[in-house]
Amino acid sequence: MKKIMMSFATVLLLTLTACGAAGSTEGSTDTKTSENEELTTLKIGVMPSMDNMPLIVAHEQGFDKKHGVDLDIQAFKSGKDRDAAFQAGAVDSINADLVGVAAYLQGGMDVKIMSATQGQFDLISTADVKEIADLKGKEIVVLKNQGPEFAAEEFLKQANLTGEDVKMIDVPQVPSRVELLSNNQAGAAILPEPFVTITATQGMNNLGSTLDLGINLFALVATQEVIDEKAVAFKGMYDAYNDAVQWMKENEQDAYIQLFIDEIGFPETLKDQIVVPEYKEAFQTTEQDITRAFDWAQEKGILEKEIPAKDVLSDVYFK
């Protein structure tokens, strides 16, 4: 009987200890690995787009946990919703465009660019608009005062047109831009993937990409306060990102193509038409791209002060 009681006491003690350990993490933003190493959760706010894929793969394959991070990728339907979450501190970092960065700085946020991402905007037109010059006098749907409007004006320059030669219509939600095109209520729209591929199957025309213009507008950004607080975690994030890029190079697309459907929003019917970018390891935004975007932001009154590009580049990963 004594032996039975001692065994019962031992089991009870172990059970209470386990429960206590589990309860001690309640309410914490950190988790534990199986090796009892602490993980820091990083909440990344994004729009559904191709340039998020290495981060998604890093989480799906566990590369983030390997480097001490738990990536929580949160997708938003519109840039305004993403920005609101960022300003409220609901996410640690966001994938934003450089004009948006200028707006944050003008609003007093101490925002820093940690790296570029491999994103693009395309100019998609209805079937009757064959070239950019045909857009004169027509409506172009964009997100005003941010990267899409900047991209639209850069495209117009290719045909010696300006923003004054068209009607820029502010439509924050990307699916709504596609709907306007489908109903012939606009001549063109600035779209990211997967909507570029979707509209191509509907007979619409692709008049160009920001990649063709030599512009990379996209970056991962965070406030300096959050960078200081979670510097080690951000370094782990980029190490995991690089691991994901290497993994994608070493594996066939069949190993990860479903993520483009589940996470980015490609229709299942277009599975065989998805063009996977040649992702490269993490890299820093160029001062040239920042200056180009900031100059435009100043012209539009979005940014009212002179901010050198080098002053907004973080050295959390790139020294």
pLDDT at 79: 80
pLDDT at 26: 36
Structure-model confidence comparison of residues 31 and 311, the more confident one:
311
Q: At residue 33, does pLDDT exceed 90?
A: no
Average pLDDT of the chain is 89
Confidence band for 304, pLDDT divided at 50, 70 and 90: very high
Q: At residue 140, does pLDDT exceed 90?
A: yes
Taking residues 55-68, report their average pLDDT. 97
Tokens of 283: 């890299």
Q: At residue 142, does pLDDT exceed 50?
A: yes
Q: At residue 20, does pLDDT exceed 80?
A: no
Confidence band for 125, pLDDT divided at 50, 70 and 90: very high
Q: At residue 318, does pLDDT exceed 90?
A: yes
pLDDT at 293: 97
Taking residues 263-288, report their average pLDDT. 92
pLDDT at 265: 87
pLDDT at 32: 45
pLDDT at 319: 87
pLDDT at 273: 87
Structure-model confidence comparison of residues 281 and 5, the more confident one:
281
pLDDT in tens, 217-249: 999 999 999 999 999 999 999 999 999 999 999
Interatomic CA distance for residues 208 and 124, integer angstroms = 8
pLDDT at 139: 97
pLDDT at 115: 98
Q: At residue 148, does pLDDT exceed 70?
A: yes
pLDDT in tens, 181-220: 999 999 999 999 899 999 999 999 999 999 999 999 999 9
Taking residues 67-85, report their average pLDDT. 92
In the chain, % of residues over pLDDT 90: 77
Q: At residue 34, does pLDDT exceed 90?
A: no
